[in-house]
Amino acid sequence: MKSLIKLKPAFLLVFLSLYASISLSADISTGEKKASLCVSCHGAKGVSSNSQWPNLAGQQPTYLIAQLKAFKNGSRKNSTMQGMVASLSDDDFVNLAAYYASLELGSAGGDPALIEKGKEKFTMCAGCHGSDAKGRGNFPALAGQHPKYIATQLDNFKTGKREGGPMAALSSNLSSPEITALSAYLGSLK
Ligand code: HEC
Ligand code: HEC
């Protein structure tokens, strides 16, 4: 420790930030154990059987961590999830996110009659969510998600119940039939 004290402050900062990132390094198997708290709703492999509960399998880890933090600090409101994360730490979030991101994306399916319409409309979303709708970084994967969950979130962005950066303005331009079609298309993807 004595030699550390002699280091220039800039070096010390680098050292400390490296240490912080190491202590937050992701551990999939620890995340899998923690996920025993989540399976009753989000499913055994992160694919849920109830359309109110989003699939988490194959989701972008950066996005998952951001959402878990948002539930914890109350900027995203849902009483069930706010209760779930209350006693979890940032380390838990990182491990849970690594675990869910490592699983295979699900496919919820969607109404075939609506899929074509939704596919056309999705061109305006692909710039952020990816042309395959698998997301990246802070942009969530939407492929294979439950259509009902997607439609609810789009409504929540529209009414301001959920804050979502660019999604507030984007969803305000979507009609109810467009939301239904987009949700069917996204749910049908694998
Ligand atoms: C009792 C049911 C229940 C349990 C248990 C539960 N969740 Fe959830 N979870 C929900 C619901 C409902 C939502 C949708 C909230 C909304 O509409 O905003 C959700 C949403 C989420 C989201 C946001 C997903 C997205 O695509 O934005 C994440 C991440 C999440 N849950 C992770 C977890 C984790 C990790 C656990 C375990 C520690 C867990 N959940 C336990 C019901 C549950
Ligand atoms: C400019 C970039 C951008 C565009 C374009 C965009 N999104 Fe998003 N979208 C985001 C971001 C960022 C989030 C995460 C918001 C948050 O942090 O809660 C998001 C979140 C979402 C969610 C919530 C997912 C979940 O798991 O809860 C849905 C659904 C969604 N977008 C659908 C769409 C659709 C449909 C379109 C096209 C009509 C679209 N987005 C266009 C950036 C974008």
Atom 34, ligand 1: which residue's CA is nearest? 38
Tokens linked to 182: 């987009």
> What residues line ligand 2, using a CB cutoff of 6 Å?
54, 66, 124-125, 127-129, 138-140, 142, 150, 153-154, 164-167, 170, 174, 182
* CA nearest neighbour of 186 among 173, 29, 135, 164: 135
Per-residue pLDDT reduced to its tens digit, 66-80: 999 999 999 999 999
pLDDT of residue 19: 45
Choosing from 81, 125, 178 the residue with most ligand 2 atoms within 8 A of its CB, the one to mutate for a pocket test is 125
Residues of the chain with pLDDT under 50: 1-3, 5, 11-12, 15-23
Q: Tell me if 66 CB under 6 Å of ligand 1.
A: no
pLDDT of residue 8: 56
pLDDT of residue 1: 46
Rounded to the nearest whole angstrom, what is the distance from the C-alpha of residue 154 to the centroid of ligand 2? 8
* CA nearest neighbour of 59 among 169, 149, 139: 139
- Which atom of ligand 2 lies nearest, measured to the CA of 121? 38
Q: Tell me if 129 CB under 6 Å of ligand 1.
A: no
pLDDT of residue 25: 81
* CA nearest neighbour of 52 among 86, 78, 19, 88: 78
